[in-house]
């Protein structure tokens, strides 16, 4: 049988020097294990440097998608989100090894990673696709910033109430005052959206959740709309407004600025073990009975 993954990238929690040193042994074991199977191993540049991985090909994160058939991410959900965004223009399947707190996206246990990876290499896995957001920030009708998000795009105020208007597919929805508004993919509904009282959407649901953060009027409730919707959020009044992408990229906003959010053409693919079950994951991570 032809091997499906001849070239594999490895990315550790590359933003955190101390975390990489702590997982140095696991990263080295993984890289050598793959190499022993005649797989071409490419280690993300910062991961290789700070985890002291020598003797492997190295490549910047932005370029790794063009070199490999799959990327293994070791870290937490935040690391997975960063890698997914970096690979948005050249998406390859992602496998997550959990070395974080929750692990909604990184579902392989570090203690079992080598056997789990062997099963995936043998073709024993579930393939799942997740949607991205494409978002643009406009100021006086000029493009200020464009980016993608896997979890959510959030318009918020850091100190005072934010007043904003929401249009969906060109139709006025509402003007409201709140600490902010979370526009979430189904993936993101187990993140900030969940803590703000939003619904959990199964990843296969073709929908977008709009969740107000501490709304001034309690009748302003979360709603879900079609994933094909075009959502526009305009800042009406705020002294300290910001927009964030997955909580990791932030941009200051001014009165009159507009964020346009819609489903991106790109999709990200996650590979799970055969026994993976989304509902089991929810029950375990959220401590449901």
- Pick from 67, 62, 233: which is nearest to 153 by CA? 233
**CA 218 → CA 137, 160, 203, 215, 225, distances in Å?**
28, 17, 28, 6, 20
Beta-strand (E) ranges in 99-216?
108-109, 125-139, 142-149, 152-157, 162-168, 171-178, 180-184, 207-213
Q: Which of 26, 77, 107, 246 is catalytic?
A: 77
The H or E element containing residue 272 is: strand 258-273
Whether the CB-CB separation of 217 and 208 falls below 8 Å is answered with no
Active-site annotation holds for 118: no
> Is beta strand 171-178 parallel, antiparallel or unpaired with respect to 180-184?
unpaired
Left (φ > 0), alpha (ψ -120 to 50) or beta: where does 226 sit? beta
Q: What angle do CA 46, 52, 55 make, to 5 degrees?
A: 95
Q: How far apart are the first and last CA of the chain?
A: 43
Distance CA(235)–CA(254), nearest Å, equals 7
DSSP-based three-state secondary structure for 264: strand
**CA 14 → CA 32, 43, 79, 168, 258, distances in Å?**
19, 11, 8, 37, 32
Among all residues, which ones are annotated catalytic? Answer: 77
């Amino acid at each position: 049988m032809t091997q499906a993954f001849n070239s594999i990238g490895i990315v550790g929690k590359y933003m955190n020097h101390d975390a990489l040193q702590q997982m140095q042994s696991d990263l080295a074991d993984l890289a050598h294990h793959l190499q022993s199977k005649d797989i071409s191993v490419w280690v993300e540049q910062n991961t290789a440097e700070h985890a002291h991985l020598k003797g492997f090909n190295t490549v910047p994160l932005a370029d790794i998608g063009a070199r490999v058939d799959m990327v293994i991410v070791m870290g937490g959900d935040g690391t997975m989100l960063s890698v997914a965004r970096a690979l948005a223009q050249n998406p390859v399947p992602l496998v997550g090894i959990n070395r974080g707190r929750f692990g909604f996206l990184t579902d392989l246990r570090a203690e079992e990673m080598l056997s789990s990876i062997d099963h995936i290499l043998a073709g024993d896995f579930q393939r799942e696709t997740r949607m991205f957001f494409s978002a643009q920030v406009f100021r006086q009708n000029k493009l200020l910033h464009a980016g993608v998000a896997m979890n959510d795009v959030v318009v918020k105020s850091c100190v005072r109430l934010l007043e904003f208007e929401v249009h969906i597919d060109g139709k006025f929805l509402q003007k409201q005052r709140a600490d902010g508004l979370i526009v979430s993919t189904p993936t993101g509904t187990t993140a900030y959206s969940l803590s703000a009282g939003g619904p959990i959407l199964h990843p296969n649901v073709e929908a977008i959740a709009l969740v107000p953060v501490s709304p001034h009027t309690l009748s302003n409730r979360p709603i879900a709309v079609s994933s094909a919707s075009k959502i526009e959020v305009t800042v009406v009044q705020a002294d300290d407004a910001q927009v964030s992408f997955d909580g990791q990229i932030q941009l200051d906003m001014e009165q009159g600025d507009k964020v346009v959010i819609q489903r991106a053409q790109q999709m990200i693919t996650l590979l799970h073990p055969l026994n993976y079950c989304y509902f089991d994951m929810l029950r375990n991570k959220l401590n449901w009975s």
